[in-house]
Amino acid sequence: MHGPEFLKYTKNHEWVDLDGTKARIGITDHAQEALGDIVFVELPEMDSELQAEDVLGVVESVKSASDIYVPLSGTVIAVNQEVSDEPELINQDAYEAWLVELEISDPDEVSGLMDLDAYEAWCAEEN
């Protein structure tokens, strides 16, 4: 398993790229490998208000469909239309194929995210 060290991670296999009060969110390489060939992505509307642990969207593969959970509360300020149009981009590079960007409403929630070492340990425990 691999992932950029500067990202934060969740137990639901999402990654978070923080830039001040903005958070770009995607699914991890571990998640896309488990899903297999991704064929559809459903993402929220712009300006949606989301609370941490709400369903952010759905990723469907040839094997199954999985909910994606929002790791931080906030407002959707960008949606990656390219990934909606070409969901296979997630399989090509899960860390480039971000899904949404949020304006974070509760910066204290960031402390609940994991660094790469903690995420890798979590994944090892899961298996």
29 belongs to a structural domain: yes
20: left (phi over 0), alpha (psi -120 to 50) or beta: left
119 belongs to a structural domain: yes
The domain in which residue 94 lies consists of 8-126
Question: What's the pLDDT score for residue 3?
Answer: 86
Confidence of residue 1 (pLDDT cuts 50, 70, 90): low
3 belongs to a structural domain: no
Closest CA to 68 of 48, 47, 93, 43: 43
pLDDT 10s digits, 7-41:
999 999 999 999 999 999 999 999 999 999 999 99
Rounded to 5 degrees, what are φ and ψ at 29?
-60, -40
Contact yes or no for 73/104 (Cβ under 8 A): yes
Question: What's the pLDDT score for residue 126?
Answer: 80
List, in order, residues 6 or more apart from 111 with CB less than 8 Å away: none
81 belongs to a structural domain: yes
1 belongs to a structural domain: no
89 belongs to a structural domain: yes
Number of domains in the chain: 1
16 HSE (CA, 13 A, CB side): 31
Q: In percent, how much of the chain has pLDDT > 70?
A: 98
**pTM as predicted:** 0.95
Confidence check: pLDDT of 127 > 80 = no
CATH number reported for the structural domain that contains residue 62 in this entry = 2.40.50.100
84 belongs to a structural domain: yes
- In this prediction, residues 49-65 reach a mean pLDDT of 94
2 belongs to a structural domain: no
